[in-house]
Homo-oligomer: A and B are copies of this chain.
Amino acid sequence: MKFELLKTDPGSRARRGRLHLAHGTVETPVFMPVGTRATVKAMMPDQLSAMGAELILANAYHLFVRPGHELIRGLGGLHRFMAWDRPILTDSGGYQVYSLSGLRRIDDDGVSFRSHLDGSPLFLSPEVAVDVQAALGSDVVMVLDDCLGYPATPADAARSMRRSMDWAVRSRARFDGAASDGQALFGIVQGSVFPDLRRESAQRLRDVGFDGYAVGGLGVGDPVETMYDLVEAQDPWLPAECPRYLMGVGTPRDLIECVARGVDMFDCVMPTRHARNGWLFTRTGHIVIRHAAYRADDGPIDVDCACPVCARYSRAYLRHLFLSKEVLSPVLNTLHNLFFYLDTMRRIRHAIEFERFNELLTWARSSGAA
């Protein structure tokens, strides 16, 4: 893996970069559509390519449970399995296992849990998480981390962060033995909303050394301004020459605000999940397509959008599909929302290149597009 830092915005911490991964090159800042179970819900890979997706996310935990990473390895790896030949980052599943509360037991060794599908006992450790992602053939492997809810006490947050850091050391060791050439490994900063803990976490990860650094444990109920402050605070604690990835965040405005604070990579289920619920993004705020106001509305979702849905379909038709529970409804809604997110990233990259990022930031704060 190689990360080129092409340009830094003079008025903010925004960075324009290029990430060279085993399956291709990714222009940053980048948004990764979420393809948890080896499919970005409702999308065919050629639709993702056509809208400019360069890197997608899949989830090692989900694929470990079903259909199994060894099965996928036997079928030629995750890229071939899902017919996506561009780069893939896999999340380790720390957050998913954390969400299984009641079904799981975490200790320093790892996580014992029962499959959410059939109740069978399973075990995930830092080493297993690396092995799973090595089998999948991910371009970017994420370490397993110990996730924590919000709010947490400083003591709990410290204990959890230190366990995550021990796991990061073990992940690094396993990765160096088990991964293929060309795979990259990212560490994850933890420490809840406590700057001292997050600083310690970042320092410990730097001491180990990773290809990239993720910011975990934010956007889980903490106030958005706290998140912005913490992202900004840790910018100097992370090596400038490595990509920084803010996990699971956020709204279109969050993307712009966090690029301004030094983030290069994002993923979030918001565009895809909201699409299935009929919540559609526009440059002037969202619309909820089931509303009666759109019954006979012959306009597109967003008159300024260049996506194939806005080129062809009226809000009235999209409302009809949604109310009729037609399969085409999540397909078209997802196409639009993902296009909107990827287009937001394009605008961010152009704004940095042409030194107009500050204008974009001002627009994001005033337009209601969040």
Q: Which residues of A contact B (CB under 8 A)?
A: 37-39, 41-45, 66-67, 71, 74-76, 81-83, 276, 295-296, 298, 312-314, 316-317, 319-321, 323-324, 326-328, 330-332
Q: Are A331 and B44 in contact (CB under 8 A)?
A: yes
Nearest chain B CB to A65's CB is how many angstroms away?
10
Given A324-B66, A328-B44, A330-B327: A316 in contact with B71 (beta carbons within 8 A):
yes
Q: Verify A83–B330 contact, CB threshold 8 A.
A: no
Complex Cα distance, B327 from A39, in Å, reads 9
List 20 other contacts, CB 8 Å, given A67-B295, A76-B298, A331-B331: A37-B326, A39-B324, A39-B328, A41-B326, A41-B327, A42-B328, A43-B328, A66-B320, A66-B324, A67-B316, A67-B320, A71-B295, A74-B296, A75-B298, A75-B316, A75-B317, A81-B316, A83-B317, A327-B327, A327-B331
Given A38-B317, A41-B326: A296 in contact with B71 (beta carbons within 8 A): yes
Name 29 interchain pairs, CB-CB below 8 A, sorted by A.
A37-B320, A37-B324, A37-B326, A38-B317, A39-B328, A42-B327, A42-B328, A42-B331, A44-B328, A66-B320, A66-B323, A67-B295, A67-B319, A67-B320, A67-B323, A71-B295, A71-B296, A71-B316, A75-B298, A75-B314, A76-B298, A81-B316, A81-B317, A81-B320, A83-B312, A83-B313, A83-B317, A327-B327, A327-B330
Query: In the complex, what residues of B have CB within 8 A of residue A41's CB?
Result: 326-328
Q: Which residue of B lies closest to A37 (CB)?
A: B324
Q: Which residues of B contact A38 (CB under 8 A)?
A: 317, 320
User: Which of B83, B298, B326 meets A39, CB within 8 Å?
Assistant: B326
Shortest distance between the CB of A135 and any CB in chain B (Å):
14
**Docked CA distance A320–B328 (Å):** 21
Closest CB in chain B relative to A294 CB, distance in Å: 11
Docked Cα-Cα span, A331 to B44, in Å, equals 9
Contacts of A81 in B (CB 8 A): 314, 316-317, 320
Q: How far is the CA of A2 from the CA of B153 in the complex (A)?
A: 79
* Cβ-closest chain B residue relative to A311: B83
**Closest Cβ–Cβ distance, residue A348 to chain B (whole Å):** 28
Cα distance, A307 to B329, chains bound together (Å)? 23
In the assembled complex, how far is the CB of residue A84 from the closest CB belonging to chain B, in whole angstroms?
A: 10
Distance between Cα atoms of A231 and B341 in the complex (Å): 54
Which residue of chain B is the closest to A316 with respect to CB atoms? B75
Question: A43-B328, A323-B66, A328-B42 given as contacts; is B82 within 8 A of A317 (CB)?
Answer: yes
Instruction: Give the shortest distance, in Å, between A303 (CB) and chain B (any CB).
Output: 16
Chain B, residue nearest A324 (CB):
B37
Give A62's nearest chain B residue, CB to CB. B324
With a CB–CB cut-off of 8 A, which chain B residues contact A296? 71, 74-75
Interface centre among A276, A317, A320 (most CB of B within 10 A): A320
A157 to B41, CA, bound (A): 49
Q: Which residue of B lies closest to A71 (CB)?
A: B296
